[in-house]
Structure 1
């Protein structure tokens, strides 16, 4: 069932909130069992998976969403079937090839590139996920093109629920055989979650009485040359940005491991430090992105439709809505994490010494929250090539900064955090420049400054309360109290300043 832009976004935000909460529970459980070193092994394998998934999907989810949205306007079911047939053939073939390639290359890659041959086991364990994610991406693109976000949202919740149900069982069962086997067990729980999620989306696809894919499959494939060209015309530029990002993440653990070795850090210590940065800190900074991701998913078909009608006012309004929401969530989150970094890391991972990573990255994280929606608008406007160039520039500078900074003995892993911060800021500013030129959008600096001041007042006031009235309490009580009090003050001040209006809130509540 098709939803409006706001309805679809709210559905994805709700699902995103649930999945992020479940995801953090999953990470806490994993960290408690594996420790920083085990999480490091897990995270060393993960960028390889992301790169292969990007190569397998080839940017098709965005292309499918866009072409299905256009076919839906014309009620062209024949075109929809061709889009699905071509997409399944392409992703299916690529997934088989890359699964075999990963299994073949894993021993060499783990030993000589990651500098820790124990990473072999997580790499092998995650290989079965590649064909599963490939098919899921096609179905997700189909539903998003119809602006029906419920299957995507529910499948995300199912995936995290299954994963969190199995992660403790899989890791504990394999831990007696060694840390590398336990890390592989954590990967197996990811595979199981994605499999059950795919089963759910397949059921939704069949029950919605859509096109019969198997009926005259070969005939539809033979007549799909133009469809293939249209898909690739959108997918290849769109996948360029993801490809560059995935390649950057793929090389990240390699460069960090080699640079830390140059800085005189032992292999086990380097693995643990990488695990703390990529497994503990980065996911915390990504927390508010479930909101901007939800807007980004709904932005692509909405912007495509508006651009087809040359309605740039709608595009500006949608983008303004998204960026304002990103600022509201991002400013508060980055400020809270910066001020309460030690408490947060103590409660979540019993690792207060990792708070300095957050101190480095939190001030720059607001750029991260704005980046996704800007890239979605570029894709909807057929400016994916510009997004790809921006991402490439950011990736090159990030890789150079990673090597130069992390190899310095006085910086070490702090240099990696600084390189990540540089990348966040640079790519977002480049995206903003291109979007402003394309649709005449001018960023509301005054709005952002007011939100920043309100977030600063809210969190600073809460810090004073925690220090003076809750100092003797446990870390859990302090951080929970800080979260409730600061968010309450933040909301009240936003209402008082007129940034959030009561009539806007009433629109979000469904009518009975």
Structure 2
């Protein structure tokens, strides 16, 4: 009787945690879907204002921007959220706020230093790093954003640790809306006549949105801080608090910097490899703009859902592990991997069934069908492999994460350099490189995760996925044929609903039957 009672208590507690996990994931998914749609509209707007060549130049500046953000703030959100969730659940509010204030001040100095260097050396960076002098204006305009994004990362980590996802979600939506408005206003007022001027206007919109986002987040932080009363526990020194953060953030930061350096080099080398394959520089930028800025933008849109789960996963698993509840942590990993498979398979099916329609609906272009169809296996593999990095991060295995990320980045660089220079492959060589590196990462990460905890995915799970995927493929074909005379947007909505609905419904029902038996 005692054993049955303990099992009943364990199941009740697990269901409560699952409800909270999915509730928080749902809130973030709604927010991220909203911001993703706005960002998607922003990319469509960019493609029409910049053209394929301008979008290619924009795509060359973004990896450099990402690298600079890694230097200023990478690892901060994860470290603060993992530490905050423990302090908050123990009611150690003084340690929570002291951690925040100390890291916030240190981040100001670090981000300000990097931003000033970019502001001073933006021209040499454009010429010698981006290898396109037209990027100098964009680099100068985005330098203040490095400060705003870094400080916002500290505040977001604070709110994530406390489970306050609605606050950050609302502000993210505001920031994306403002970015679209500023871009339209900047282009209308400044009337840039060159590609460089329009790209700089796009980064001006980004910087303005990040400024407003930071100010709003900081106001919300001040309000939330005033509500925390009755702190318990021993107050730690600021040195100890900073050390606790650095233990988590430094490996992640180093990992981010190394990976970003390699990925930035990989992105910047693609135009040169395409030129070696026989394309002009303008045509190479146009190919990059269509493949990375349009086709992959469409196929990776559902990754927003997975990313939302991974954001909630880190504090959720940190809390379970701090309570020595490893069974719940293992169950959570299995759930995340299953959902990622469902989304990846559904997305791949949609990209295979109606690539031409997707290209026309989102970008009014008829030359994206082959690229979108080719992106189907890319999203299938990456949607499954990417969450494994998040699981390693949530398990606190930052050193393993660093090693596997380094292998991933180096393999990607080598394969991209070789394959993109082959005339028969050209830009598709980049896609093949993504697929191969994702498979390698999946194998390495799963192997490391299995050393730490049991992954509860067996042959029966694979059979369920295959059967559900086949049924979803047929439902997508039937929906596409039934709506063949409908407007492209209606046909797209029908196929997406049929495919994702069938896949999710069948898998949910099958896994529920499996649990009950």
TM-score by length of 2: 0.88
Which residues of 2 match residues 398-437 of structure 1 at below 5 A?
398-437=412-451
Would the aligned equivalents of 1:114 and 1:257 in 2 still touch at CA under 8 Å?
no
Residues 177-188 of structure 1 mapped to structure 2, 5 A cutoff: 177-188=193-204
Q: Distance in 2 between matches of 1:470 and 1:76?
A: 58
Q: Deviations over 1:228-284 (max 9, x none)?
A: 222111111222333333223321321102212222321111111111222112222
Q: For residues 346 and 321 of structure 1, what CA distance do their matches in structure 2 show?
A: 35
- Distance, in Å, in 2 between the alignment partners of 1:35 and 1:445 is 47
Structure 1 unmatched ranges of 5 or more: 213-219, 505-512
Match of 2:52 among 12, 30, 36: 36
Q: Which moved more, 1:128-137 or 1:357-366?
A: 357-366
Q: Distance in 2 between matches of 1:421 and 1:317?
A: 28
In the alignment, what sits opposite 1:301?
A: 315
For the 8 Å contact 2:378–2:434, the answer to whether it is kept is: no
- Residue number in structure 2 paired with 1:194: 210
Q: 1:335-350 to 2 correspondence within 5 Å?
A: 335-350=349-364
Asked if the contact 1:337/1:358 (under 8 Å) is kept, the reply is yes
Specify the alignment match of 1:25 in structure 2: 41
CA distance in 2, matches of 1:488, 1:380: 30
CA offsets 1:98-132 (integer angstroms, 9 cap, x no match): 11222233322322343322122222221111100
Cα-to-partner distance string for 1:338-389 (whole Å, 9 max, x where unaligned):
2211211122113332332333332132332234432233223220110111
Distance in 2, Cα, partners of 1:358 & 1:331? 15
Alpha-carbon distance in 2 for matches of 1:182, 1:457: 46
- Checking the alignment, whether the CA contact within 8 Å between 2:475 and 2:498 is kept in structure 1 is no
Question: In structure 2, do the counterparts of structure 1 residues 321 and 20 end up closer, same or farther at CA, with 3 Å as the change threshold?
Answer: same
Does 454-463 or 323-332 show the bigger shift? 454-463
Q: Is 1:57–2:73 an aligned residue pair?
A: yes
Q: Which residue of 1 aligns with 2:262?
A: 248
Q: Aligned equivalents of 1:386 and 1:159: distance in 2? A: 34
SS at match of 1:410: coil
Residue segments in structure 2 that go unaligned for 5+ positions in a row: 1-16, 229-234
| Residues 354 and 73 (structure 1), Cα distance of their counterparts in 2 relative to 1, 3 Å cut | same
Query: What is the root-mean-square deviation in Å for CA atoms of aligned residues?
Result: 2.6
Question: Which residue among 472, 489, 492 is the counterpart of 1:458?
Answer: 472
Equivalent of residue 407 in structure 2, options 382, 393, 398 = 393
Q: Deviations over 1:74-120 (max 9, x none)?
A: 32223213311221122111111111222233322322343322122
Change (3 A) 1:418 1:61: same
Superposition deviation, residue 138 in structure 1: 0.4
Q: Is the 8 A contact 1:338 1:363 kept in 2?
A: no
Do the aligned partners of 2:32 and 2:304 also contact (CA within 8 Å) in 1? Answer: yes
Aligned in 2, Cα 1:282/1:90: closer, same or farther, shift over 3 Å? farther
2:460 maps to 1:441: no
Helix, strand or coil at the partner of 1:127: helix
The answer to which of 96-105 and 127-136 deviates more is: 96-105
Which among 488, 493, 503 is matched to residue 480 of structure 1? Answer: 493
Query: Counterpart of 2:141?
Result: 125
Structure 1 position 9 matched with structure 2 position 25: yes
- Name whichever of 202-211 and 176-185 sits farther off: 202-211
Give the CA deviation at 1:456: 3.4
Displacement, 1:390? 0.6
- 1:430-477 Cα deviation digits (max 9, x unpaired): 22221111112243443244234323332344335534x544554334
- Cα distance in 2, alignment partners of residues 117 and 373 from structure 1: 37
Aligned with residue 224 of structure 1, among 219, 238, 241: 238
- How far apart, CA to CA, are the structure 2 residues paired with 1:403 and 1:90? 38
> Which residue pairs with 1:257 in the alignment?
271
Q: 1:368 to 1:445 in 2, by over 3 A?
A: farther
What is the CA-CA distance between 1:190 and the residue it aligns to?
1.4
Alignment of 1:268 with 2:282, yes or no, is: yes
Aligned pair 1:155/2:171, yes or no? yes
Distance in 2 (CA, whole Å) between partners of 1:448 and 1:150 is 35
SS in 1 for 2:108: helix
**How far apart in 1 are the matches of 2:470 and 2:50?**
36
1:319-398 equivalences under 5 Å are 319-398=333-412
Q: Distance in 2 between matches of 1:445 and 1:56?
A: 44
